[in-house]
Amino acid sequence: MRQFVEGSHAVAEIVKRCRPGVISAYPITPQTHIVEDLASMVANKELNAQFVNVESEHSAASVVLGGEATGVRSYTATSSQGLLLMAEVVFNIAGLRLPLVMTTANRAVSAPINIWNDQQDVMTVRDSGWVLLFAETNQEAVDLHVQAYKLAEDKRVMLPVMVNMDGFILTHGMEVLDMPSQEEVDKFLPPYTTKYKLDVDNPLTMGYLADPDYYLEIRYMVQDTHKQLLDIIPQVAADFKKAFKRGEGNGLVEGYKLEDADQVFVAMGSVCGSIRDVVDDLRAKGKKAGLLKVISYRPFPKDLVAGALAKAKEVAVVDKSISLGAFGPLYTDVMASVSSLGAKMPKMSGFVLGLGGRDITKKSIMDTYERLSGKQVDCEFIGLKKELLVEDKLNG
């Protein structure tokens, strides 16, 4: 059913249709509309779920951990500081192999405090073992949530999945999109069943102490599942396309005018939409530009990325986050992937844009493009305002 709807409301609607039984969240901008909608749906009996208002994100994540542990499909959403506060629980959920789905409305992290969009928050749990998917549009956000539960609850996977959507840009952006019906979602996503749960008829111990004799293999198993996910994610994407007649890609990466591109942008999330426009403008001027959009950041599709960039001359990796003291996180993953190309590696450059909600305009993307012909850079901030780069005289 086609709707003109705000991103958050669309996410709440699709989550409702996934039929979670336990929902728990703590308010944080810009996730609030999602959980407010879900609370309203429960209050009006549109959704049969236990809605637990908690006293912090750490408890929100712990509540849904408990819900999943009883074998009940659960849901939570957060951003920025909330994700950082629950980080310990996020790692715990993946380690416990619980198939939770969470929405992160990506937002900058303190200090200084900033409520606007960038992707620094999710990077703090990059190593947690979660599947990390990035939506470019609200339609993609809707579609990814349905696929997320299917992926997470797959008996070969049993790992939590996070759908990332840029805060405000997507959450508060209005878009015409196609909302899957309840019947369609029910057909695609059967009820969650598992033997791995707390059950008085079959008692189990979950969350034991693993000493050095056991821990390494248990960690390896999560890494191994991520390798398998590189096949399972495309399977689920294909199943989704068959059921909903939508979604061209393999669920891992997507190319735009990539096949003969000399210069390629690599990016994640909503910025890809702006980059597509710039690629079109460049193509109109005879420049062979292209875009490699990364949808699955974890597992990182290193072979697909290397293959997609193999024939390019220059590559601009666009990060909306930064590992302070080193490089943009996406840049490091892309570099590790293309290192397999050896001497045939294109000229790789890393750029940081849009931190703290700084507008990424077509001009700033063009600036990035222009830099590609110059000196190779590995972590160049685009759009710095020179007049603000002045030092304090506080300590003399």
Q: Using CB under 8 A, list all residues that contact another protein.
A: 21-22, 24, 48-50, 52-56, 58-60, 62-72, 74, 88-89, 92, 96-97, 155-156, 158, 196, 198-200, 203-211, 214, 217-218, 220-221, 224-225
Q: Which residues pair with 104 in a beta bridge?
A: 78, 164
Cβ 127 to another protein shortest distance, Å: 17
Structural contact between residues 77 and 34, judged by C-beta atoms closer than 8 angstroms: yes
- Of 54 and 345, nearer to another protein (C-beta) is 54
Cβ 43 to another protein shortest distance, Å: 16
Cβ 72 to another protein shortest distance, Å: 4
What's the rounded Cα separation, in Å, for the pair 263 and 345?
13
Structural contact between residues 355 and 118, judged by C-beta atoms closer than 8 angstroms: yes
Cβ 304 to another protein shortest distance, Å: 22
For residue 138, the SS3 value is helix
- Of 17 and 293, nearer to another protein (C-beta) is 17
Cβ 198 to another protein shortest distance, Å: 4
- Of 58 and 283, nearer to another protein (C-beta) is 58
Residue 150, amino acid? K
| Strand 161-166, strand 131-134: pairing | parallel
What's the rounded Cα separation, in Å, for the pair 27 and 36?
9
- Of 4 and 208, nearer to another protein (C-beta) is 208
Cβ 153 to another protein shortest distance, Å: 13
- Of 200 and 343, nearer to another protein (C-beta) is 200
Structural contact between residues 7 and 168, judged by C-beta atoms closer than 8 angstroms: no
- Of 157 and 330, nearer to another protein (C-beta) is 157
Write 193-197 long-range contacts (CB < 8 A, 24+).
Answer: 193/71, 194/71, 194/153, 196/71, 196/97, 196/158, 197/69, 197/70, 197/71
Cβ 27 to another protein shortest distance, Å: 14
Structural contact between residues 7 and 172, judged by C-beta atoms closer than 8 angstroms: yes
- Of 128 and 321, nearer to another protein (C-beta) is 128
